[in-house]
Each structure stands twice: as C-alpha cells, then as structure tokens.
Structure 1
Amino acid sequence: MKILVVESDAELGRCWCQHLERQGGKTSLCLTEKHAIEALRFLPFDVLVLDVGMENTSVLAISDYATYKNPKVAIIVVTANSFFSDGLIFELIPNARGYLHTPVQPDDLAAMVDHYGRVPALRSA
C-alpha cells in the first residue's frame, strides 16, 4: 500500500511514516503543499494522510488534486482543530474516510490506514 503523509512537523511525520512502514506500508512524507502536489503529480497513492491544520497551506487543494489524480484515494484527515468535529470535513473532502484528532497514536493511524487502504473499492488501479 502506498501512503502519502502530509504533515508540516517533520519529526511527527517521520514518526508516522516509520510506524506505517513497520506495518507494511510504503510511505512518502511531504512537509509542504508544494511538495505534496509534486509527489501526487508523479506517484500513485492508495492513502493520503493529511493534517488539515497546516499553516499557509491549502489542504483542500491537496485533497482535490489527490482525488483528481486517483478518484479512489482514501484520505485520512488529522487535525488538532475541533472545528471539524461536527463532520464538516466529510463534506469539504469527499474522499475523506476517517478523521483523527491530535495527538494521534501511531497504532490508531495505522489501523485506519490499513482499514481504508485495503478496501478493494478504494484501491487505486
């Protein structure tokens, strides 16, 4: 399973990636919107882990581009903001499959990525 982690905190992003790799995933970490769009432009991903609280970043542009490149990509939203606790994120990001509030335990993230990344209807071609 190919996983793109978009997280501006490099240490946290590396921690998530290492944990996801120990669970069998192949990860790429992007710290900025520009790098995320470039990664999505050239590589196919099954799952996108997206921190929607990143400053100076259009997370909707990242999620829209990810969906454009792969309409079946599963997007796991991570945020510290309670604004999205009412489920609004699922309206803003149609491919959002899960929502995790930080701090996120790596095992919880891995379980969600594994679940949504392995659903046959959501896998990329």
Structure 2
Amino acid sequence: MKVLIVENKVELAEIWRRHLAREIEQVDIAASADEAIGRVAATDYAVVVIDLSLAEGDSPISVADYVQYRRPDCRIIYVTDRTFFSDGSIFSITPQLRALVPADSTPEDLAALVEHYGNRS
C-alpha cells in the first residue's frame, strides 16, 4: 500500500510517517498542495492524509479534488485542529473522504485508520 501525507509541519509529518512506515510499503510526504498534486499525478496512492490547516495559499480541498479526478479509488483522511466541519458537511464536499480526525489524535490511531481504509481500496 502507498500513502501520501500532505502536511507542511515537517516534524509532525515525520512522526506520522514513522508510525505508518512500520506497516505500510511506501509513505511519502508533501509539504504543499502543489507538491501533493505532483505526487498524486505520478503515484497510485491508496490513501492520502491531508491536513486541513495547510499554510496560507495552499488549499487542502484542491488537493482532494485532484485526488478525486486523478485517483478515483484513493481514500482521503482529513486531519484538522478546527471545529468548522464538525457538522459533517465536509463529507459532502469530498466524496472520497473516509475520516475527519482531530490533529491531536495519536499517531497510532491515524495509522489504524490508514490501514483500515487503505486495505479497502
């Protein structure tokens, strides 16, 4: 299984990558929306984990839209530190979305979600 983490906080992305790499064949990191789109164009990911709080100018939704267009079987997991989408409306915006998890979730919990949804794609 191949997984992409879209996160501009390098330390956090590395923590997630280390936990995922224990069980997953390939885990890549993209620090921006443009980098993520380039990686999705070149690699058939099973799961893309996207931080909804990317740096200003980067749109996590545009990454998800591109994933939907380019890799329709890919699953998306959003990570957020906001309560803006707590009503579940984000699931209607991103059809491939399988989970919306708090940014303070443990890396083990995130890894379990990635493995669960990645094995279903």
TM-score range (shorter-chain normalised) is over 0.9
Shift of residue 25, structure 1, vs aligned partner = 3.8
Distance 2:54 2:63 in 1: 12
Q: Secondary structure at the match of 1:104?
A: coil
Structure 2 matches for 1:27-106, cutoff 5 A?
Answer: 27-55=27-55, 56-106=57-107
Quote the Cα distance in structure 2 between the aligned partners of 1:102 and 1:14: 14
Number of residues paired by the alignment?
120
What CA distance in whole angstroms lies between the structure 2 residues aligned with 1:25 and 1:75? 18
1:23 to partner: Cα distance = 2.0
RMSD of aligned Cα (Å) = 0.9
- The superposition leaves residues 35-55 of structure 1 with CA deviations (integer Å, 9 ceiling, x where unpaired) of 101101111100000001113
Structure 2 SS opposite 1:76: strand
Partner of 1:16: 16
> What is the rounded CA distance, in whole Å, between the counterparts of 1:85 and 1:102 in structure 2?
13
TM superposition shift of 1:104? 2.0
Q: CA deviation at 1:74?
A: 0.5
Query: Normalized per residue, which structure has more helix?
Result: 1
> Match of 2:4, SS?
strand
Q: CA deviation at 1:69?
A: 1.2
TM-score, normalised via structure 2 length: 0.95
So what's the TM-score if we normalise by structure 1? 0.92
Q: Sequence identity of aligned pairs in percent?
A: 36
What residue ranges of structure 2 are gaps of 5+ in the alignment?
Answer: none
State the distance in 1 between where 2:112 and 2:25 align: 12
C-alpha distance after superposition, 1:16-65 (max 9, x if no partner)? 01110012341000011111011011111000000011132111110011
Query: Mind listing any 5+ residue stretches in structure 1 that lack a counterpart?
Result: none
* In 2: Cα distance, 1:103 partner to 1:81 partner: 11
Moved over 3 A (4+): none
- For residue 75 of structure 1, give the secondary structure of its aligned residue in structure 2: strand
Is the deviation greater in 53-62 or in 72-81? 53-62
